[in-house]
Amino acid sequence: MTQIYEQADACKIEKQPHPESIREFVTVAVRSARVRVQLLQCELDEIGVALKHKMVTPEIAVGWLHDLDALRFVNPDVWRETPAVSA
């Protein structure tokens, strides 16, 4: 009985993903990334409007940006976690 299972395992052919299925997966991943970027853009607009109309303080806006992991888009050198070592 175990020989049957061993023969069946030996006969299995490693299946490679079909190129079309890979293409579909990447297409869906790119669409998903695009939507995430659009959401981030909307949140950045919200922060800007809130600051402009004095609805939040700059400190709260920075915290909001930190929560979104978006400080790097504002000015990466100013908000660096560890200070850059100058030569």
Res 18: pLDDT: 80
Confirm whether pTM is higher than 0.85: no
Res 16: pLDDT: 75
pLDDT value at 87 more than 60: no
pLDDT band at 73 (very low <50, low <70, confident <90, very high): confident
Residues 6+ apart with CB under 8 A from 40: 68, 70
- How many CB atoms are closer than 10 A to CB 47? 20
Contact 57, 46 (CB under 8 A): no
Tokens of 75: 């000015």
pLDDT value at 68 more than 90: yes
Domain boundaries, the chain: 28-80
pLDDT band at 39 (very low <50, low <70, confident <90, very high): very high
